[in-house]
Amino acid sequence: MKKTGGVSTTLPVFFNPIFMKKRILITGGAGFIGSHLCKRLLDEGNEVLCLDNYFTGNKENILPLIQHPYFEVIRHDIMNSFYAEVDEIYNLACPASPIHYQHDPIQTAKTSVMGAINMLGLAMRLDAKILQASTSEVYGDPIVHPQPESYWGNVNPVGYRSCYDEGKRCAETLFMDYHRQNNVRVKIIRIFNTYGPRMLPNDGRVVSNFILQALHNEDITIYGDGKQTRSFQYIDDLVEGMIRMMNTEDEFTGPVNLGNPNELPVLELAERIIRMTGSSSRIVFKQLPDDDPKQRQPDITLAKEKLGWQPTIELEDGLKYMIEYFKTV
């Protein structure tokens, strides 16, 4: 072994960079999506640092991971700066359901914008790769259908949903500007409706709402006439797409749609859940909230081409998992 000034210049024979663990930071790691991502990345042999302020995240989501030797969790709000030595950052932190993001709309917008600035600054200092969990809400109430990544959207900048929609749009802008101006290695995904275990039961989203109401034989509430469409992907499919996106070449920034292209009217979803649960629930209709999109369907051509990704879990199978999960909460 060669030495220079008493210091070895060669690595031990057992060292192999292929087997180095990646150090990965996940903001919002105790949330619905974040907790599934934490587990998957740990299972792949990485070190995972989970940040969460527990506004919508839940410690119970990550309790099974607490004893893992390569898992750490820190209570932290990403509106405040943070420093740790990491190789990759997944920026997921932000309340994502209308009930939660409209609770404090100023805080929601600041989380998207200031959180992005703080995490991009960290990535720039460390030369770390960073992925932004953006949303299909950047398309607003779309007039192009299905929605490709090239579509600029139809968003109300002053409505009740704007704190979330425009906050995420601004975060995408910041990611691209840090990339162009400072050569930060960024990735942007746009997440469409996702469901699965660990969804909050009171978050107001249609899958969790309908299943809980059906299991309790309560009236199933549909806002509007039920003809508005959504596309639902199971959480495992989303996590797979996120990891594939992070592992793409540095030159590819996205954005990339991650969602299920199989479109479904909300009324049909409610009827299917009633049938699958054997519920005696009735369907009742209420006034549609402001700026609620009439249709939502991803064009996933780019995800297929660049990531080799498409959803694999059928809605019927995913709903079975969800129904069994909500029987236990």
Kindly list the catalytic residues: 164
Beta bridge partners of 26: 50, 90
Reply yes or no: is the peptide bond before residue 255 cis, omega within 30 of 0.
yes
- 229-231 and 263-265 strand pairing: antiparallel
**In terms of C-beta distances under 8 Å and separation of at least 24 residues, what long-range contacts does 41-47 make, across chains too?**
41/243, 42/68, 42/70, 42/71, 44/243, 45/21, 46/21, 46/22, 46/70, 47/21, 47/22, 47/23, 47/71, 47/72
Q: Are 151 and 218 in contact (CB under 8 A)?
A: no
- Report CA-CA distances (Å) from 54 to 58, 62, 82, 175: 6, 11, 16, 25
- Residue whose token pair is 């907790």: 35
